[in-house]
Amino acid sequence: MGYGFTQNEFEADVIVVNTCAVREHAEMRVLGNVGALNHTKKAKPEQIIAVCGCMVQQEHMTEKIKKSYPIVDLVFGPHELWRFPELLLDVMTRHKRVFATARDDGAVTEGIPLRRDGKVKAWLSIMYGCNNFCTYCIVPYVRGRERSRLPEDILAEARQLVAAGYKDITLLGQNVNSYGKDLDSETDFADLIRMVNDIPGDFLIRFMTSHPKDATEKLFRTMAECEKCAHQLHLPVQAGNDRILKAMNRHYDREKYLTQVQLARQYMPDLVLTTDIIVGFPGETEEEFEETISLCEEVRFDAMFTFIYSKRVGTPAASMPDPFTREEKQKHFDRLTEVANRISGEKHAAYIGTHQRVLIDGETGRDEYNLSARTNGGRLVHLKGEAELIGQFRNVVITGGNTWALYGEVE
């Protein structure tokens, strides 16, 4: 439509605020940011303000914007993304507010133009939506049912990425392990990895997220056998106690999770394993929380993404009794963070003196250690070197490490 980009919100003709609905904190920040646009709109009354994404796919949020944020001209949910130019034209020509957030199970839209940030790493969606209905989670309500892109469409995009010089491709889905179950084709996720692996070129394949309930031995074997597949697995466990896992509707127990970790490590002894954990799920007791701690000590994750439970309107967990205070949950969260940080620090210390093949992916903006890189397993490495190295695989020796990162020298 002839638009360009600006970082200056007072100059913009159109402002698009993209949103997430997974936790309340992000939603509050969105509302704060949208409220702040009152100033820009006052200075430039013809400015069009759009809010899109999962947050506005929730009815109560659309209502809130309708009533309390009159500066917003256009609201559209994830299912309407492909209609953005049409909706924008509607606002421009009809001079009225447009709300496009109909309830929908979603479709797969191909051929939408993509603008990627960066030239080294790329995200590649292989499926949309989620069928799992974990009781705390809003995603299935705002993203619709699981639908897979056709293997040939994914492969065509992957080939384009490799031809354009991308070196690190992350296959994306809420639960990549159920890839293809909704298609007529026989291709499952492990087969898809193999097909991407067969594309000629020097690049890495990563993926997320893998749901433990259907991660298979075939997947681990495929990861081990495909030379381009990173030995990196993000396997969210959420909690270490069986009663909580059941109340979360996760469809696995502690035992099954631990068995899977063991199996994955048998196939890939150098596997980098990360996870997500929710602290303070409604009714989680001290003893139950202790089982999350003991699971983390047992597995020793390379990194953990930890969250305090956030109540989501319309999910089953939102109506479960939740007797524990925010302070109690915060205490548990702090303890878990300490354990996670200690283990990450110890894991990183063990890299010191080793040689790693890394992909140099960007600049840090700092003088000493001006480059950032990732190991095959996805751990962050800070290096010193020329900017020309960006986009190259190099061997480095690891000289230092802390909780957050490794430090190294190009060999």
Asked whether position 276 contacts ligand SAH by CB under 6 A, the answer is: yes
Task: List residues binding ligand SF4 (CB under 6 A).
Answer: 130, 132-134, 137, 139-140, 174-175, 211
Binding residues for ligand SAH, rule CB under 6 A, total: 17
Rounded Cα gap, residues 273 and 284, in angstroms? 25
Asked whether position 309 contacts ligand SAH by CB under 6 A, the answer is: yes
Asked whether position 238 contacts ligand SAH by CB under 6 A, the answer is: yes
Closer CB to ligand SAH, 178 or 372, in the complex? 178
Asked whether position 172 contacts ligand SAH by CB under 6 A, the answer is: no
Minimum distance, C-beta of residue 7 to ligand SAH, in the bound complex (Å): 28
Minimum distance, C-beta of residue 176 to ligand SF4, in the bound complex (Å): 11
Residue 310 interacts with, from ligand SAH, ligand SF4, none (CB under 5-8 Å by kind):
ligand SAH
Closer CB to ligand SAH, 214 or 276, in the complex? 276
Asked whether position 333 contacts ligand SAH by CB under 6 A, the answer is: no
Minimum distance, C-beta of residue 126 to ligand SAH, in the bound complex (Å): 13
Residue nearest to ligand SAH (CB): 276
Give the residue, chosen from 20, 22, 92, 224, that forms a contact with ligand SAH under the rule CB under 6 A: 22
Closer CB to ligand SAH, 9 or 276, in the complex? 276
Cα–Cα distance list, 197 to 61, 201, 229, 270 (Å)? 42, 9, 7, 19
Closer CB to ligand SF4, 10 or 133, in the complex? 133
Residue 278 interacts with, from ligand SF4, ligand SAH, none (CB under 5-8 Å by kind):
ligand SAH
Residue 133 interacts with, from ligand SAH, ligand SF4, none (CB under 5-8 Å by kind):
ligand SF4
For 4, left (φ over 0), alpha (ψ -120 to 50), or beta? beta
Minimum distance, C-beta of residue 332 to ligand SAH, in the bound complex (Å): 13
Asked whether position 171 contacts ligand SAH by CB under 6 A, the answer is: no
Minimum distance, C-beta of residue 355 to ligand SF4, in the bound complex (Å): 36
Residue 140 interacts with, from ligand SF4, ligand SAH, none (CB under 5-8 Å by kind):
ligand SF4
Q: Which residues bind ligand SAH (CB under 6 A)?
A: 22-23, 136-137, 139, 174-175, 209, 211, 236, 238, 276, 278, 307, 309-310, 312
